[in-house]
Amino acid sequence: MTSRVEQAIDRAAADGRAAFVGYLPAGYPDISTSIEAAVALAENGADVIELGPPYSDPVMDGPVIQEATNVALEAGFRTADLFTVIREITARTDVPVVVMSYWNLIVQYGIDRYASDLASSGGAGIVTPDITPDAADEWIRASTAHDLDRVFLAAPSSTDERLRLVAQNSSGFVYTVSTMGITGERASLDEAAQRLVERLRAAGAARACVGIGVTTADHVASIARYADGAIVGTALVRALRDGGVPGLASKARELSSGTRR
């Protein structure tokens, strides 16, 4: 059966577009604004919303996202708040919501409990940047039991064997890392991303979305030529920080204009 995330990506493709996946930190700058921001993202072109619960050691995140998650943590955001945020968002939009969470947060909360609470709040799946399929047996069981997508990462350095493992165990899409390094804005994207998508297709991945460093509508348009979707984080967080929800909405419209093939 096709999941909600897969259906959203397929609807975009049927409309002649790549999917636009928009990332925001949950609870930033506060819980109520983060809900409004996610809804605005959905109303201004996002096909999938990706929410990042704040974490004290965000090894993959660049300075803009780190700054935002620190604000949320200092305001007292807790994992249980994530499910409240998702419940509020999914009550107001049909755009699927996936969580991008460091694995330690999920383990601390309890893997099955996390999956259960995510599913009951309306969440569609989890992107796990720091766990690989061969170490994720418990998560694979829990996500299957609660009908959640598992989005694993593939990097340009991944072996063909690793890509096959990622493709076999991912659902929703494979998070295709455009370049090695942390998240953040970049002037140009690494050509390695296109080669990696080609390798993922050969490994059996049905849907591949490209993230890390995707900053402009031109970047999105470039990705739309070869991938199923583009993932944008830092540029959206910066827009929210500098222009509030209206600034975020404007940036989302601008970025989504690049999805048309």
Provide the terminal-to-terminal Cα distance of the chain, rounded to the nearest Å: 27
User: How far apart, in whole angstroms, are the C-alpha atoms of residue 104 and residue 110?
Assistant: 10
83-104 core/surface letters (b: 16 or more CB in 10 A; e: else): bebbbbbbeebebbbbbbbbbe
Annotated active-site residue 198? The verdict is no
Neighbours of 2 (CB within 10 A): 11
Nearest to 219 by CA among 243, 236, 205, 204: 236
User: How far apart, in whole angstroms, are the C-alpha atoms of residue 51 and residue 174?
Assistant: 16
3-class state of residue 49 by DSSP: strand
User: How far apart, in whole angstroms, are the C-alpha atoms of residue 163 and residue 43?
Assistant: 34
User: How far apart, in whole angstroms, are the C-alpha atoms of residue 147 and residue 3?
Assistant: 8
DSSP H helices, 75-136, are 79-90, 103-109, 111-120
In total, the chain counts a number of residues equal to 261
Cis peptide before 246, with omega less than 30 degrees from 0? no
Annotated active-site residue 94? The verdict is no
Catalytic annotation, pick one of 61, 81, 88, 228 = 61
Catalytic annotation, pick one of 50, 88, 117, 149 = 50
User: How far apart, in whole angstroms, are the C-alpha atoms of residue 223 and residue 173?
Assistant: 15
The catalytic site residues sit at 50, 61
